Structure 1
């Protein structure tokens, strides 16, 4: 009558294992939300879809950024967030011709930064096809849609 049932030991052991699992899961939950990549992509899309030349700035609250021609990734203390551009491909304004593309991004007309339309177009294509990698995130992104003759591009950078 006062003897311990064998099944109760297994029940307590199972409850201890489940409790430890729930505690471990609770400790792994991030304390902050992931960065908002969707709002950044919406800003890029709003400039890219403009029928006229346009410029916009968007603040970034992340530690790292991966900017490709079709996708954007942000990494922060709350995890990673990714978003695709609806109006792509865009041109990351960094890399081989990054200084000239960066100058165009910040307001220099493309015909002053590049010797010809063909060189401008080659620089755009090289930057579009470069594999993106994680970089330290800037405080904000600048987005600019430029046109030079038949060459249209949406530049994105710091």
Structure 2
């Protein structure tokens, strides 16, 4: 009545193999969730539609970020997330643009609105580049001499 059946050995070996396979799948799953690009894009759009001089900071749970025409991309170990932007934004990727984003008037950093526009055009050309993500993303709406832009950095 309590004899070992030959089929039981095969059952245990098969069950062990399945258990190891399931453990491998679970161990391969990402430990973090993908970043929340939608909320960050909403913050960028909110600042872009606010009066010039508006500034907002948003905590960023991502390893890298990039702006492209009409979209924000964020990525971390959990994956890549993308969200659309209704307003165009420029990544403040130079020291001078970051100074303007930090609150310094563009007139104190650039010689003319044309020089400011040229710096923005150069930054727009590099917008799609993946950059290391800061802990907090700063967003500012800047207007000077006919140049109206939303800077992100």
Q: TM-score range by the shorter chain?
A: 0.7 to 0.9
**Aligned residues of 1:69 and 1:92 also touching (Cα < 8 A):** no
- Once the two structures are overlaid, the 10-residue window that deviates more, 78-87 or 25-34, is 25-34
Q: 2:134 aligns with which of 112, 133, 138?
A: 138
- Once the two structures are overlaid, the 10-residue window that deviates more, 43-52 or 21-30, is 21-30
**Aligned residues of 2:56 and 2:138 also touching (Cα < 8 A):** yes
Q: Aligned partners of 2:22 and 2:51: how far apart in 1?
A: 53
Q: Sort the Cα spacing of 1:130 and 1:83 in 2 relative to 1 into closer, same or farther, 3 A.
A: same
Aligned residues: 149
Residue segments in structure 1 that go unaligned for 5+ positions in a row: 1-17
State TM-score, norm by structure 1: 0.76
Question: 1:31 and 2:27 equivalent?
Answer: no
**Aligned residues of 2:142 and 2:150 also touching (Cα < 8 A):** yes
- Once the two structures are overlaid, the 10-residue window that deviates more, 21-30 or 56-65, is 21-30
Question: 1:122 and 2:118 equivalent?
Answer: yes
**Aligned residues of 1:67 and 1:133 also touching (Cα < 8 A):** yes
Q: Aligned partners of 1:131 and 1:156: how far apart in 2?
A: 10
Q: Which runs of 4+ in 1 moved over 6 A?
A: 18-24
Q: Offset at 1:151?
A: 1.1
Q: Aligned partners of 2:132 and 2:122: how far apart in 1?
A: 22
Residue segments in structure 2 that go unaligned for 5+ positions in a row: 1-17
- Counterpart of 2:83? 83
Partner SS for 1:128 = helix
1:114-146 deviation digits (Å, cap 9, x = unpaired)? 001111111111111225222221101100101
